[in-house]
Amino acid sequence: MAFYSNMLLFEIMLVSLLAGVTLCGGNIPDSCGILTPPSNGVILHCSRGSRSNSRCIVKCKNGISTAQSIRICKCSERICLWEGFNPNCEVGQCELPIHKEGSIVLLEEWFGGFTALINLGFLPALDDGWSAVVIFEQPLGSNARITSLTSDVTSISPSKNSFTLSSKEGSPARNISTSNSLHSVFSVTEVETRTPSLGYVGIYNHRVTDVVCLNPPGPMKPIVKFSFSQTLCSNSNMSATSSPFTTSSRVVSPLVNESTGISSNQGLHVETTSATSLVDNNTSSMTTSHLSVATTISPRTFLMEIDGMQCKRQNDESYRTQPGWVDGGFSYFSGNALVEVTQSATKWLVVVVFQLPITSIQVWNTIIKGNQSNGLLWKFGPIGYNSQLSPGKLDVRFIAKMQTQSDNMAAGEVYFCSSYFGTGDPIWLPFEERTNASNAPINKQHEENSRVPVSLSTTTSSLGLTTTTHSDVRRLTPVPRLTNQRRCASSAPYGIRPRRSSQTVPRWKRSRDGSKYDFNELLHKSILFYEAQRSGSLPNNYNRITWRGNSMLKDGCSIAVDLSGGWFDAGDFVKFTFPMAAAVTNLAWGGIVYRKAYVHAGLLPRFLGSLKWPVTYLINAHTAQNELVGLVGDVRADHDNWSRPEDWNQDRPVFKITKDAPGTELAAETAAALASSSLVLKRTHPSVASQALRHAKQLFNFAVQYRGHYHEAIPQVNEFYHSYSGFNDELMWAAAWLFKATTQQRYLSYAERLFDSLGGTHITGSEFSWDNKMIGAQVLLANITGHDKYRNGVIRFMNKMLTEAPKTPSGMLWVREKGPCRYAANAALIGLLAGELEPPLPERRKYLKWAEKQIHLLVGDDGRSYVVGFGKDYPKRPHHRSSSCPRPPATCDWTTYHSNRPNHFILYGALVGGPSKMGQYDDDRENFHQSEVAIDFNAGFQSAVAGLKMLARRNRNK
């Protein structure tokens, strides 16, 4: 009997263990133990953990099922168990679509997102509504957001690679054209990967809630980019004559309004009747009738109203354009018309007045209400869902086709017209003499300097703009010889103060890495510092530094190049290309190796946007194949002034290196910056990355072919950024980066031969800085090749840093008086990158620990923080003009400089110069050796912080 009793007890214990039951001896039990969710399920919430009476919600993962259940921990005198059952989260057989020949057309692509159209041909009746499943070949990232203004997004897969669109409730036939074709637009934002290139679309003849478990039952199709010469046919096998989108004399383009076409079905099906844009049904190719360009336009006139409505002119920032392209002998460009809606409007128009005649326009979120004055004035109206505008911003994105090929994109002005305006502004139709581009004289010098050696055939237009030819389509290669005439006009402003100056409020995702300091906060604020350093026309839609406005808008006008962008070097307004390029390279290096740190911090889009800003400037600064701008601004005049950059009102000189006055260090470092940045940006900004790499190759050739010290070519930099280390370190550094970016062996061979010729096996550097790249090149070559001669150089450098290198009493590396913090941060970055080498270096752990110590000393372990706006006792008076200035219209001058009060605005994230060798820091903006900030200070620091974040995550997951 005892045997059977023991067996019964054993069975009870076994069953209880398997069921999540807790058995207790003499004590009253109060815990049910760990509740295990089902496969493909999660525990959403537990009211009391695993304790008695805890209620837990268990649900299936998104994309699997919507099922969920409640589990309750119940305890008796001797036993606790989870009551209830887990939901069934097994992946079942997904319902198959009735039609799977759909396609995806990419309408627009931007930083971190895109808009696309799903397109399906002839369908059966869909009176009960419809759903479409969209599947991409890759995940879009955990933070990706999918929206649609014309459909409901009813489910999204966990990896964000598939989702379901459904007809809107109560509108089953919406999106269905008269030819029973289905078209629906969706947008994806916060994409963490490249824009997908393959996709699948399947359609259901009723609304379904969740079919993202579906695997594509057939091959995925390429996602096609929309162009003017493209008809959106739903079936690639459908003949042109049977296409529901074409007739013998017109193009029918879903969701695209072209010329003066008026939409039907809430603007989702548009008939185009432009006489200049016809489709030949036999060939499905675009044919274009010849248009002559009027040599003059009638004298300047104005309109006081449009369609019975008064109109308000929007500010100059409301009209924006992107680089254009040439196709079929005509020029195209894309742009935005941004409108500020101040109160609800039911009857409204957006009017754009162009300075050059426009033949046709495509838009997506409005419909075209007509044009006049030979294509100078275009009107856009509501499309159904936005027929009633709420206060906020309206962004009308468009693609414009010009009447002829031109190297200039048409400037423009934006007006918002509404029935609620009692008075308005006159709408001016500008008078400007027109010249046919084909009759313009050829600029021989420009043609010679701007020719680009690429594998595809290249030609130079009559205005000297290089084009790359592939088949019959030519895309403009940006050689920024031409400048915006309005920007450089004598009446145009040099700068524009911000409308409302207010303190930036940082908002970041709190770190859960278990680190001593919040590395997410440090990364977030360092990026804010770089945003505060921006020169040029700042974007209204993401300018988080509201006390900064547009500045130095006329930089480069003297040489007909737009050099208004880029970063100010430090607390002044000068733009030195050499340290800017060095900062870009170090930031890009961190972005390559520690990209996931930015992803985990939720900062990848901000980081990429921050990096793209100076990259665009460096591309523009490369004004010809063997020319590069090295300095913008008169350093003396700048340093004699203490004011806001927006208040600067003088022309600024531009200094270049050329083949007659070469600057090898400058050309090579800029090549390294652009090559490394191309690796960071190629997933999200392939066009910018491609341009950057092309310019990097040209600049490296320039640096190799024409040797000379850049400070001799531009003596104005001598006092500030004299190249003491020579140019061989930059040449080796640039060659290594070009190998990383291209995998072409010739670059690696060049770097290795140069290393050997310099006796590199015996070189031990003492710093890593904007000037000296030797140790950076050694780490990079060690990573590429794994050769001991480079690895040993890294070991020697790190051993020197840990032992004999000078330090403050607290142990912070101290290389020299001016800006010691940057050298400590840069060396910490080298230590972290040394820790990434494989196989691991013998003292890897020691290097990582030392690097961590250096960064911790900079942010708080030294008894104070050297990062503005972070930690305890951070610097309040950095040597920085714009942040020290009070809100306009208050005066900012040398009285402000000498004042003992803290800077009026917190310069979040800026790393100051740092303490004396004895560890003393003077928080005084007049002590610029210690209190000045600079773009190269933060570069190595930010990348090192990203490295420490990744290190903390690895340690946490061990």
Query: Does the predicted TM-score (pTM) go above 0.75?
Result: no
Show Cβ contacts of residue 592 under 8 Å, excluding neighbours closer than 6 positions.
676, 679, 680
Tokens of 439: 């009759």
Asked whether the predicted pLDDT for residue 167 surpasses 50, the reply is: yes
Q: Is 901 exposed, middle or buried (0-12, 13-18, 19+ CB in 10 A)?
A: exposed
Structure confidence at residue 931 (pLDDT): 96
The mean pLDDT of the chain is 80
What integer is the mean pLDDT of 443-464?
30
Task: Give, in order, the Cα–Cα distances in Å from 394 to each of 110, 116, 336.
Answer: 17, 19, 10
Asked whether the predicted pLDDT for residue 880 surpasses 60, the reply is: yes
Runs of H (alpha helix) within 706-859: 710-713, 718-721, 728-742, 745-757, 774-785, 788-802, 820-834, 844-856
Most confident of 320-324, 483-487, 576-580: 576-580
| From 923, 924, 926, 936, the catalytic residue | 923
pLDDT (tens digit per residue) in 117-144: 887 755 555 666 788 888 998 888 877 8
**d(Cα 158, Cα 571) in Å, to the nearest integer?**
46
**d(Cα 456, Cα 469) in Å, to the nearest integer?**
6
Structure confidence at residue 281 (pLDDT): 31
Buried b (16+ CB within 10 A) or exposed e, 318-349: bbbbeebbbbbebbbbbbbbbbeeeeebebbb
Residue pair 673/584 in contact (Cβ under 8 Å)? The answer is: yes
Runs of H (alpha helix) within 622-758: 635-639, 664-681, 686-705, 710-713, 718-721, 728-742, 745-757
HEC assignment per residue over 907-942: CCCCEECCCCCCCCCCCCCCCHHHHEECHHHHHHHH
Closest CA to 468 of 610, 326, 609, 310: 326
Is there a catalytic annotation at residue 932? yes
Structure confidence at residue 62 (pLDDT): 65
What integer is the mean pLDDT of 309-322?
86
How does residue 393 score in pLDDT terms, banded at 50, 70 and 90?
A: confident
How does residue 90 score in pLDDT terms, banded at 50, 70 and 90?
A: low
User: Long-range contacts: 803-806, Cβ < 8 Å, 24+?
Assistant: 805/766, 806/917
Closest CA to 63 of 216, 199, 210: 210
Percent of the chain with pLDDT over 70: 77
**d(Cα 736, Cα 460) in Å, to the nearest integer?**
32
| From 101, 407, 569, 932, the catalytic residue | 932
Instruction: Let me know the angle formed at the C-alpha of 400 by 396 and 405, rounded to the nearest 5 degrees.
Output: 160
pLDDT (tens digit per residue) in 687-725: 999 999 999 999 999 999 999 999 999 999 999 999 999
**d(Cα 33, Cα 41) in Å, to the nearest integer?**
18
**Size (the chain), residues:** 958
Show Cβ contacts of residue 604 under 8 Å, excluding neighbours closer than 6 positions.
192, 595, 598
Is there a catalytic annotation at residue 923? yes
| C-alpha torsion sign, points 685, 686, 688, 689 | positive
Of the two residues 367 and 263, the one the predictor is more confident about is 367
Structure confidence at residue 249 (pLDDT): 28
Task: Give, in order, the Cα–Cα distances in Å from 40 to each of 72, 112, 211.
Answer: 20, 29, 15
15-29, 262-276, 515-529, 928-942: which range is least confident on average? 262-276
Tokens of 144: 């990706």
What integer is the mean pLDDT of 378-390?
86
**d(Cα 571, Cα 568) in Å, to the nearest integer?**
8
Show Cβ contacts of residue 679 under 8 Å, excluding neighbours closer than 6 positions.
588, 592, 689, 740, 741
Tokens of 539: 């974007």
**d(Cα 152, Cα 99) in Å, to the nearest integer?**
19
Any idea which residue has 């969710």 for tokens? Answer: 37
**d(Cα 705, Cα 837) in Å, to the nearest integer?**
33
Asked whether the predicted pLDDT for residue 467 surpasses 60, the reply is: no
Structure confidence at residue 790 (pLDDT): 96
Show Cβ contacts of residue 349 under 8 Å, excluding neighbours closer than 6 positions.
306, 307, 309, 311, 369, 379, 380, 381, 416, 417, 418
Q: Compute φ and ψ for 155, nearest 5 degrees.
A: -165, 150
Structure confidence at residue 539 (pLDDT): 85
**d(Cα 425, Cα 304) in Å, to the nearest integer?**
7
**d(Cα 27, Cα 248) in Å, to the nearest integer?**
88
Maximum separation of any 2 CA atoms in the chain, in Å: 115
pLDDT (tens digit per residue) in 226-278: 653 333 333 333 333 333 222 222 222 322 332 222 222 333 332 222 322 22
| C-alpha torsion sign, points 297, 301, 306, 312 | positive
Structure confidence at residue 127 (pLDDT): 63
Q: Compute φ and ψ for 201, nearest 5 degrees.
A: -130, 125
Of the two residues 231 and 474, the one the predictor is more confident about is 231
What integer is the mean pLDDT of 649-659?
95
Closest CA to 944 of 805, 794, 800, 768: 768
DSSP string, 305-370: -BTTBEEEEPPGGGEEE---EEETTEEEEEEEEEEEE-S-BSSEEEEEEESS-EEEEEESSSEEEE
